[in-house]
Amino acid sequence: MTDPLYDDLAAVATDLIGQYGKAATYKRVVNGAYDTATGGLTKTTTSVSVTVFAYEYSDREVMASGGRILKRDRKCLIAGPSLSFEPDPTTDTLTIDGVEFALIYADKPVGEDVMHTLQIREAE
């Protein structure tokens, strides 16, 4: 970040999520090199310890989503500086209290690396 305002906002987000959140493990899976023996790509998994603040969507948000948000989904906040990469809903997972969640949607509300807002759903 280059704007001091965003630096300050990121520090506040980090402090508040650290104070009120809980420990979680963020897993990122990326394709690696081509494996000639299997004919597929190798997968590399990276785990990052993060602090998250996860809570239920309101009934209003669920109803207004047109089916995109399920009642069992959770909204999850992660301070932007906690991740050195952009969350990827196609491959990443988050484990909170031993329960694995799939990422459904990821957003950075202010467009800067202040905070990531994730829609998560318990993995099946």
Residue among 105, 122, 102, 92 at smallest CA distance from 65: 105
Q: Where are the alpha helices (DSSP H) in the chain?
A: 4-20, 59-64
pLDDT (0 to 100) of residue 111 = 60
Q: Is the pLDDT of residue 122 over 90?
A: yes
| CA–CA dist 53, 112 (Å, integer) | 19
pLDDT (0 to 100) of residue 112 = 64
Average pLDDT, the chain: 88
The residue behind tokens 């990469």 is 85
All structural domains of the chain, each given as residue ranges with its CATH number in brackets, are 4-122 (2.40.10.270)
pLDDT (0 to 100) of residue 1 = 45
pTM > 0.75: yes
Cα–Cα–Cα angle for 96, 80, 46, nearest 5°?
Answer: 55
14-28, 30-44, 108-122, range with the lowest pLDDT: 108-122
